[in-house]
Amino acid sequence: MSFQIKDLPYAQFEQLGMSRRDVITMQPQDLADLLNGHRTGLISLKIQLGEGMKPMQTQAKLSLTRNPDNTLSLGVHPILAKPINTIEASPEQWAKMLTGEPIVKASKSYNGTIEPHLHQLDKDTKEILSARVGAIQIPHSIQDTVLTPAQKEQLRNGLAIEIEGKATKEAIVVRLDLNESRGYIITSVEQAREQGRNSNLDVTKGKENVSRGIKM
C-alpha cells in the first residue's frame, strides 16, 4: 500500500499543529514510512483543543488509511501508559510480547473472519501491532541469500531463521519485526542465542531446530 503526497489529508494534519510545509519537510524516513503505508517514528505534536484552551503538546506516531471513497484518514498513535492485552493472548503469549517478541495467534480480521495474525508490541507506544499471516510478504532474498519456501513459511509464522550472508560468509539470524519499516530484523547468531536464553526465542535453520525454545 502506498500513497501520493498530493493526496495527504492536510486539514487533518493542521488539527495536530502541522502545516502543509511541516508535513512535506518532516524527517525523510518518517515521510517515506507514511507514504509507504507504515507508521512514522514519534513526532512532536501541538494539538489545538478549542478557543481559549491551551494547546496540548504530546508525541505520537502517525499513519494513513484509505477510506471506501478513496480519501485518506490520518491515524494518531499516542504513547500508552502501559500495554493492554486487547487480543486475549494467553499469559505465556503475553509474557513473550512484553519482552518485544512477536507471537502468532488466531484473531478477527477487518472482514470479520478468524485468521492467524502476527502480533507484536510497538516498542515506543506500547500499542499492539498486527498483521494477517496470509498477507505478509516475505522477500525473495536477504543479504543476497535466496530464501527457500520453507524458510519463508517459517518467517511468516513467527519463527526466526538462520542463514549465511553471501557477502560476509557469516551466519545471521532473521525474524519478522513489525516495528521495522522493512518488516524484519537481522541479528548475529550470538545475539539470537542470548535472546533465546532470555525469552525462549526459537531459531530454525532450514527444517532443523538449532536452539531450544517454543514456537509462537
Supply the mean pLDDT for the chain: 87
3-state secondary structure of 90: coil
One domain for residues 125 and 143:
no
One domain for residues 122 and 186:
no
C-alpha–C-alpha distance, residues 169 and 127, integer Å: 37
Decide: 153 and 204 in contact? Cβ < 8 Å.
Answer: no
Q: In the structure grid, which three cell numbers stand for residue 94, read together?
A: 503475553
**Range 60-81 average pLDDT:** 96
pLDDT for the residue numbered 41: 96
pLDDT for the residue numbered 195: 66
Element (H, E) at 150: helix 149-156
pTM for this one? 0.80
C-alpha–C-alpha distance, residues 206 and 154, integer Å: 9
Cross-strand partners of 137 = none
Q: pLDDT tens, 81-122?
A: 999 999 999 999 999 999 999 999 999 888 889 999 999 999
C-alpha–C-alpha distance, residues 202 and 78, integer Å: 31
One domain for residues 39 and 52:
yes
Domain boundary among 34, 52, 78: 78
pLDDT for the residue numbered 185: 93
| Domain of 57, in residue numbers | 5-78
**Phi, psi (degrees; rounded to nearest 5) at 51:** -60, 130
